[in-house]
Structure 1
Amino acid sequence: MFPANELSKALYKLNIPLRRFKTGTPSRVNRKSIDFSELDVQEGDKLTVPFSFETKERPKNKVVCHITYSNEKTKQIILDNLHRSPMYSGKIEGKGPRYCPSFEDKIVRFSDKERHQLFIEPCGENTEEMYLQGLSSSLPEDVQLDFIHTIKGLEHAQVMRAAYAIEYDCVDPTALKATLEFHDLEGLYGAGQFNGSSGYEEAAAQGLVAGINAALKIKGEEPLILDRGSSYIGTLIDDLITKGCTDPYRMMTGRSEYRLVLRQDNADIRLTPIGHKIGLISDERYNAFLYKQEQIKKELSRVKSLSIPITDDLQKMLREKGTAELKTGCKMIELLKRPQITYEDLKPFDLTREDLPYEVFEQVEISVKYEGYIKKQEAQIKEMRRLEAKRIPDDIDYSTLKGLRLEAIEKLSAVRPQNLGQAGRISGVNPADVTALNIILESMKNDR
């Protein structure tokens, strides 16, 4: 693999602000050379969640992972050879991902730890390659072999591919719009890990959004902008273009203030209408989605109206679940609201239940149990979107505006937010600045 040095030079000539990051990957070892007899088995989930809502039959986990640990011998080999690591010798200067450091980084940062947990993961159902999760390294191959062979279960491991680290150029993402088009280079879009994120899901998500917007621009249609209340993709992009990043950005649920609403079980509810509108969801799939929504609506109506009479079996179940017995009959929804009670618990007492897909029951149960919290977050999202609707002209000159602090002018000029909501999320821009900017925008509107 050869570096694309000329590409970086071309980007520099276009005055695109670049920075240097690094990443790495662990060794792959031969399954047949691993001694699994003393390793801890990690089973997969019994109830699997498919990647697509179109999947009719849930896939079953057919393989397992294993856990092992490094030890003092492993640690000593690393420490004795740190001078041979490109990251510690200065050959690699890029900033690495905060949440998946190299193994030598772990040894140095957490020098008080006697051992570190490692996952041995199969790369596929029919391959002999096993992925040593947690063992990324930039050390020479002979050192890697030495420390791998000190680890329980890997004493005779055959390395099929050694671990390695790379460094690469990426853009300062504050140079991008929410569409991932460059502010100063119309028609040029940033996509993937180049935008300052880590790889895999984050990179794929940005490639999807950049590609969609490039196609929409060519067609002369409105761009696709996903906001923080719609998706983790929207949160990821907004964080990057508004706050920038000093190390490869990784998307985690904790980064979203609306994570109770942004769940994997309702991703189709949030995003299928958008996908259908821009032509990425077929009519057949969209109609199936609408049918599911109708099923959820009808089932929710049913549990609100269905009365559950008191029986000895019902009272016994409630006692066993650690919740209060009934004094009078009640609607099914009242029992479903209890945290200890699930749909399956109520199945013997639910005489009108239809044979619906699991996903329908799941949506109803979640909406019932978390109704108050969900409504609160939906109100917050509504307010956020009210501010997002207040667009800021692309050609606005903040240095000419009165009422803004100097720091706010500098930050707003650097990030160039596309709306008032984004402006309020910029570090160094406070609520008073947002209020002043709102007044300025209103006056500009009235002057036109």
Structure 2
Amino acid sequence: MPYLEETYDMIVVGAGHAGCEAALAGARLGLETIMFTVSVDSIALMPCNPNVGGSSKGHLVRELDALGGEMGKNIDKTFIQSKMLNESKGPAVHSLRAQADKQDYSRQMRRTLENTDHLTIRQAEVSELVVQEGEIRGVKTFSGAVYRGKCVILCTGTYLKARCIYGDVSNPTGPNGLQAANHLTDSLKANGIEMFRFKTGTPARVDKRSIDFTKMEEQLGDEHVVPFSFSTDPESVQKDQVSCWLTYTNEGTHDIIRRNLDRSPLFSGAIEGTGPRYCPSIEDKVVKFPDKERHQVFVEPEGLYTNEMYLGGMSSSLPEDVQYAMYRTVPGLEKVKIVRNAYAIEYDCINSLQLKPTLEFKKISGLFAGGQFNGSSGYEEAAVQGFMAGVNAAMKIMGRDQVVLDRSQAYIGVLIDDLVTKENHEPYRMMTSRAEYRLLLRQDNADIRLRKIGHEIGLVSDGEYEKLLIKMDEIEHEIKRLQGTVIGVNSMAQEFLEKYGSTPLKSGVTLAELVKRPELDYEKLWELDERRPELSPEVREQVNIEIKYEGYIKRQYQQVEQYKKLEGKLLPEDFDYTQVKSLRREAVQKLNKVQPATIGQASRISGVSPADISVLLVHFARKQQ
């Protein structure tokens, strides 16, 4: 009896945040796309905290939206609380974060997918890659069905040979008790793909009715909500928001944890995978920071139509009796009832050094990868990788130039460059400190940086792009007006400056010069500025930042010029670096393993020194001559 066989342009394996963005990118570009999931109910699932954004992650979501992705639009439809983080600091680290209604987020994303032309959703477990002569030809499912495709994108998340663990309990399931994908790893290894075993975790979900909120600090959303998507009408997101809450662990909590470490699979050796350094379990925190008297616990709702609350900051793999004991030492949780136990989850992922900057495998043409499968952590990191893998697979199929964002263009560029250049032996998490040009890569100007690229790809409409051009024109004209408008020495100006504790004028100054004063800004100057035009808050924000930080921004652009020079020096593909005399042995090993595309990428490889880079520059300069 013959097996089912179908043909598509693009095949996406996985329907989490990476898979959704990959599939939507391909289908919206007109390619016949099929997306596989072990369960249709797990589409865009949020198995950990149901929030989008946060420090540096908010940058990723806004960049994704500027390029034509879906995550920003979806969270704008489904958030229940929104907050701009780090507002007391400079604009480079301002980051939007929104708490989602977990079920609604998944439901709305599924609705978008199901109503996208050229996109087919299929519930089935992909168990095998079909590879011939170093090129992907399609996939096979566990049932034996064959799906032919020109490109395949692997976005398996935390499902690959997944195991959920707490105490002595070990369940071979994916997150939330959903079916794991147990068969694809063998096929990946058979095709020469190097695999890692990573771990992440999640805290307990508890019953809202068993919490005493009077012992906690209420955390309110912003009075004026800023949408994630540049396409969202700002008025549509001004709505009633729910509260989140803050409480703390204490020495009693820590004592219970210390006394039960021998029962933790994390410390007994039962967990083999490497966990995330920057999102540790509560056991890890207590062991690694013994002098810290307390740790924050964020109590956050899972949605509007459930009493489940998420205990952020207290992920654990301790046995359930210990979980009850430690949670009940926390103020407000003395009588708490657990709905779902905390657990750790182990899963298979790849060594991402096997990928090109396009997220295509170096050794298998047409096979791409995105998300936690690449050794990263987080919904946002997953979504942007899925999108870029989907775009580049589509470009390959369509015979167009592939899209690689560099470190000076986007946080997305930093994330992918780190993954494909640096050895990551633990789940990679995006942070603002990883971006060396972060004053240029602000979340507020993501559309200015990337909308044009999204339009050229074909995922940003002419109308949306036209809106950006008008916005940029307004910013430019207003900056020029401020630079050309002089305020004379008069009583009105002196009174204004005295009001804000600013130095009085001795001669005329431009409005732009006043904006640069630390105690003043563009918004305050409306009292002096009689000819100020009506502009949107987004335009006013850009005008203020561009003038106030002009010197720092110019300096960063100069740094970028130096960076671009090294990025412009291309290196040959599949080059044997043993041919380069005077290179240290470690550098040869690392260069042969990573196969960097440029001198710039080579300079960022751990174990390759500035002296090695000088040797490479001399060697290839001689070859060119």
Q: TM-score, normalised by structure 2?
A: 0.69
* Higher strand content, 1 or 2: 2
1:208, CA displacement in angstroms? 1.0
Match of 1:184 in 2: 363
The count of corresponding residues between Structure 1 and Structure 2 is 446
Report the 3-state secondary structure (helix = DSSP H, G, I; strand = E; otherwise coil) of the residue aligned with 2:183: helix
Structure 2 letter corresponding to 1:145: Y
Structure 2 residue 201 is matched with structure 1 residue 24: yes
Q: Distance in 1 between matches of 2:329 and 2:587?
A: 55
Q: Distance in 2 between matches of 1:127 and 1:342?
A: 44
Counterparts of 1:344-383 in structure 2 under 5 Å? 344-383=523-562
Q: Distance in 2 between matches of 1:270 and 1:351?
A: 32
Counterparts of 1:312-331 in structure 2 under 5 Å? 312-331=491-510
| Structure 2: segments with no counterpart, 5+ residues | 1-177
Match of 1:48 in 2: 225
In 1, are the aligned partners of 2:226 and 2:234 still within 8 Å (CA)?
no
| Range that drifts further, 215-224 or 309-318 | 309-318
Counterparts of 1:89-104 in structure 2 under 5 Å? 89-104=268-283
Identity over the aligned pairs, expressed in percent?
Answer: 53
Structure 2 letter corresponding to 1:294: D
Structure 2 letter corresponding to 1:93: E
Match of 2:135 in 1: none
1:47, CA displacement in angstroms? 4.1
Structure 2 letter corresponding to 1:44: G
Q: Distance in 2 between matches of 1:133 and 1:358?
A: 33
In 2, are the aligned partners of 1:62 and 1:125 still within 8 Å (CA)?
no
Q: Distance in 2 between matches of 1:317 and 1:121?
A: 44
| Range that drifts further, 3-12 or 348-357 | 3-12
In 1, are the aligned partners of 2:218 and 2:243 still within 8 Å (CA)?
yes
| Structure 1: segments with no counterpart, 5+ residues | none
1:125, CA displacement in angstroms? 4.2
Match of 1:88 in 2: 267
Report the 3-state secondary structure (helix = DSSP H, G, I; strand = E; otherwise coil) of the residue aligned with 1:37: helix
Q: 1:96 to 1:293 in 2, by over 3 A?
A: same
| Range that drifts further, 315-324 or 182-191 | 315-324
Match of 1:5 in 2: 182
**For the aligned residues, what is the CA RMSD?**
1.7
Match of 2:256 in 1: 77
Q: Distance in 2 between matches of 1:402 and 1:116?
A: 53
Structure 2 letter corresponding to 1:187: G
Structure 2 letter corresponding to 1:214: A
Match of 1:253 in 2: 432
In 1, are the aligned partners of 2:487 and 2:493 still within 8 Å (CA)?
no
Q: Distance in 2 between matches of 1:432 and 1:35?
A: 61
In 2, are the aligned partners of 1:189 and 1:214 still within 8 Å (CA)?
yes
Q: Distance in 1 between matches of 2:230 and 2:304?
A: 23
Q: Distance in 1 between matches of 2:472 and 2:179?
A: 50
Match of 2:414 in 1: 235
Pick aligned residue for 2:346 from 159, 167, 172: 167
Pick aligned residue for 1:57 from 234, 240, 253: 234
Cα deviations by residue, 1:96-119 (Å, 9 ceiling, x for unpaired): 111111111112222333322211
Q: Distance in 2 between matches of 1:36 and 1:242?
A: 46
| Range that drifts further, 332-341 or 57-66 | 57-66
In 1, are the aligned partners of 2:423 and 2:606 still within 8 Å (CA)?
no
1:393, CA displacement in angstroms? 1.5
Which structure's relative contact order is higher, taking Cα pairs within 8 Å and 6+ residues apart? 2
In 1, are the aligned partners of 2:202 and 2:342 still within 8 Å (CA)?
yes
Pick aligned residue for 2:327 from 120, 133, 148: 148
Q: Distance in 2 between matches of 1:2 and 1:57?
A: 39
Q: Distance in 2 between matches of 1:223 and 1:282?
A: 19
1:203, CA displacement in angstroms? 1.4
Report the 3-state secondary structure (helix = DSSP H, G, I; strand = E; otherwise coil) of the residue aligned with 1:5: coil
In 1, are the aligned partners of 2:484 and 2:510 still within 8 Å (CA)?
yes
Q: Distance in 2 between matches of 1:421 and 1:435?
A: 12
- Structure 1 outlier segments of 4+, above 6 Å: none
Q: Distance in 2 between matches of 1:437 and 1:42?
A: 54
Q: Distance in 2 between matches of 1:349 and 1:127?
A: 51
Match of 2:384 in 1: 205
Q: Distance in 1 between matches of 2:222 and 2:620?
A: 52
